[in-house]
Amino acid sequence: MSIADKLVLKRQRHLKWRALDRLELVLMMLCGILCFGFSLSVTADIVTRTIGHPWLWLQEFTSALFIYAIFIGAATATRRNDHLYLAAIAESMRGGSRIVVEVFTRLVVLAVSFCLVWYGYLNCLRGFGSFRLPSGQPIAYLYVIIPLSGILIGLFTVEQLVNGLVHGFDHPEPPSDDDHEIPSISTSVEPGAQH
C-alpha cells in the first residue's frame, strides 16, 4: 500500500463519521436536484410570461426551490468545510493557534446553528398564520427547512469538533491523480520543417 493510499485511509477514518457519509451524499444530490429544478422553473416562468400565458403558481414553486437549496446547501457546505475564507485562515496556522482558531470557528458555527433551530422553529410556527398566493398554502412550509438546516449544521459541526480535538485539525491533503505535471509543448519551428 502506497503512502498516498495510507493518507487517504487515515483521512477517511479520522475526518468523518461513516454514518454521516450517506447523509452528505443524499444532501449533495438533493442540492443538485433543487438547483436544476430552480433553473428549469425560472426558464419556464420566463417562457410562459413571454408567450402571454404566465403560470402564477410557478413563482411560488421557484421561491420554495431556492430557499430549500440555500439551506440544504449551507448544511452540506458545513460538512465539507467549504467556507473558503475561514478554512484558508485556519489552514495557514499550525499548533496551538490553529486549534484555538478551529475550535472558535466551530463554536461560532454551532451558535449560529442553535439560532437557526430556535428562531427557525418560531418562524415556522408563525408561518401557519400566513398564506402564500395563489396556492393558499401556509408559508410555514417554506420555513420548516430553517430549523432542519440548523440541526444538520449543528450535527456536522459537532462531528468536526470531536474529530478535530481527538485526531487534530491538521490533515494534509493526499496527492490526487490530477496533480500530474503537464509537459511543456515546444512552439519553436524546427529547421527544415515545412509549413
Taking only the tens place, the pLDDT of each residue in 127-161 is 998 888 888 889 999 999 999 999 999 999 999 88
**Residue that has been written with the C-alpha cell 411560488 in this structure:** 60
Q: Are 14 and 170 in contact (CB under 8 A)?
A: no
| Percentage of the chain modeled with pLDDT above 70 | 74
Mean pLDDT over 26-30 rounds to 94
Sole residue written with cell 468545510: 81
- Given a contact cutoff of 8 angstroms between Cβ atoms, the answer to whether 5 and 54 are in contact is no
pLDDT of residue 174: 54
Residue 181 is predicted with a pLDDT of 62
pLDDT of residue 38: 96
List, in sequence order, every residue forming a beta bridge with 131; answer none if it has no partner: 138
More confident residue, 64 or 86: 64
Quote the pLDDT of residue 182: 60
pLDDT category of residue 67 using cuts at 50, 70 and 90: very high
Nearest one of 106, 105, 138 to 124, comparing CA atoms:
138
* Residue 80 pLDDT: 83
- Separation between Cα atoms, residue 3 and residue 6, nearest integer Å: 5
